[in-house]
Amino acid sequence: MSIRERLSGNEAAATAMKQINPDVVAAFPITPSTEIPQYFSTFVSNGLVDTEFVAVESEHSAMSACIGAEAAGARAMTATSANGLSLMWEMIYIASSLRLPIVLSLVNRAVSGPLNIHNDHSDAMGVRDAGWIMLFSENNQEAYDNLLMAHRIAENENVLLPLMVCQDGFITSHSIENIELEEDSEVKKFVGEYHPKHYLLNDKEPIAVGPLDVQSYLFEHKAQQAEAMKAAKDVILQVAKDFENWTGRHYGLFEEYMLDDSEVAIVCMNSTAGTAKSVINDLRKKGIKAGLLKIRVYRPFPYEEVANALSNQKAVAVLDKADSLNGMGSALFEDVTSSMYVAGKHVPMVNYVYGIGGRDTTSKDIESVYNDLIEVAKSGKIDNPYRYLGLRREEN
């Protein structure tokens, strides 16, 4: 039986960690994820978990401690944001290449500079090719649910990859909202115990972790990582199915909202998807066939499924909350357009960079995108596929 509660996104993440009760949490505070290790450290002090909490001196050390713990055979978790993730950069790659299923709660924030503590996805986009499974969460509920599913996915023997659960800094991390929580004992049963096959502290099987990997091996090891990432897709779906059987809450690789009969659709991630749903409800009342594809699983990217789901649209807008600064489109747009091209589906598509540095994304902004898409669908013409949404410009 679910428990009706109201929690912020950070409280939801900390609650999930409490219920998971990992062996080790190593973390260093950074806004807006600070509350997660803060709450967790009180759980440790109050004896609500038996986790070894390591208050490290930097995020580089936080990830290093998680790597050490996981290599030793323990279950390790951490949380960070923005420049904290940047400082982990070196160890982020080590974690995935050593195939250590660490779980990270990433509260998305703009990477400096200039200094900005507010939400965008530039931190997550910086590690999109680092070999981590990346799940995005629209609200506190999804941040909680994704964390409850995380270890079952990451620790699966066909996967063995680290996993990060993203949510929007401040927008969901600091907003109190309704949430359905599960009983501690039920969570414990669902998550299960961690029994790694190979680990450093196993005296019956002495192994080395992370030795030199020269020309004759690194390529094959990278290919194995890539295979594991591909294999993760089925595991994510299987775990989601078990999760739904338990809680009744359905999760897929992405969520389709009124997409089956829509003509114009937005693709986006995290909290903006909720605002888009509210706009779609209003547009539908006016007879406008608007839809949404909300990416949940960003890595591995479900390219076949996404292409299939978007193939009947007359125009699609992909919203990126990070600017790739590459003279062309941003990361999610590239992934979606590439998926469409490979699948041989041609749908007019435009890219909007939006919400940078916490710029509020309003219902009116989202509605303007659907209006633009209606024009694109009518004319079939796209004068500029690379656009901004909500950017302040000098008046002429």
Partner 1 sequence: MNDLIEIRWHGRGGQGAKTASLLLADAAFNTGKYIQGFPEYGPERMGAPITAYNRISNTPITIHSNIYEPDYVVVVDDTLLEAVDVTAGLKSTGAIVINTTKSPDYLKKVLKGYSGDIYTIDAREISMQTLGRYFPNTPMLAAIVKVSNIMNDEDFIKDMEGSFKHKFAKKPEVIAGNMEAIKMALNKVQKI
Eight-state DSSP code of residue 390:
S
Residue 53's closest CA among 16, 85, 82, 79?
Answer: 79
The answer to whether 28 and 80 have CB atoms below 8 angstroms apart is yes
| Measured distance CA(251)–CA(244) in Å, rounded | 7
Q: How many residues bind partner 1 (CB under 8 A)?
A: 25
Stretch in the footprint of partner 1 (CB under 8 A) among 66-74, 168-176, 211-219, 330-338:
168-176
56 binds partner 1 (CB under 8 A): no
The least CB distance from residue 361 to partner 1, in Å, is 6
178 binds partner 1 (CB under 8 A): yes
Residue from the set 80, 146, 272, 330 that interacts with partner 1 by CB under 8 A: 272
Stretch in the footprint of partner 1 (CB under 8 A) among 16-24, 98-106, 201-209, 266-274:
266-274
Where in 334-373 is the site for partner 1 (CB under 8 A)?
360-363
| Measured distance CA(260)–CA(291) in Å, rounded | 8
- Name the strand (E) or helix (H) holding 256: strand 254-257
Distance from chain centroid for Cα 363: 23
Quick one: 118 or 299, whose CB is closer to partner 1?
118
The least CB distance from residue 280 to partner 1, in Å, is 10
The least CB distance from residue 170 to partner 1, in Å, is 5
Residue from the set 176, 218, 223, 226 that interacts with partner 1 by CB under 8 A: 176
The least CB distance from residue 74 to partner 1, in Å, is 34
The least CB distance from residue 166 to partner 1, in Å, is 14
Q: Output the DSSP codes for 306-355.
A: HHHHHTT-SEEEEEESS---SSS--HHHHHHHHHHHHTT----EEEEEE-
CA distance readout (Å), 77 to 33, 63, 74, 110, 371: 13, 9, 10, 22, 43
Where in 79-138 is the site for partner 1 (CB under 8 A)?
117-118, 138
171 binds partner 1 (CB under 8 A): yes
Stretch in the footprint of partner 1 (CB under 8 A) among 37-45, 176-184, 219-227, 295-303:
176-184
The answer to whether 100 and 162 have CB atoms below 8 angstroms apart is yes
42 binds partner 1 (CB under 8 A): no
Please, which residues have CB within 8 angstroms of residue 224's CB and are 6 or more apart in sequence?
Answer: none
249 binds partner 1 (CB under 8 A): no
Residue from the set 70, 123, 168, 320 that interacts with partner 1 by CB under 8 A: 168
b/e 49-66 (16+ beta carbons within 10 angstroms → b): bebebbebeebbbbbbbb
Quick one: 64 or 172, whose CB is closer to partner 1?
172
The answer to whether 280 and 294 have CB atoms below 8 angstroms apart is no
Interface ranges with partner 1 (CB under 8 A): 6, 32, 117-118, 138-139, 168, 170-172, 174-178, 271-272, 274-275, 277-278, 360-363
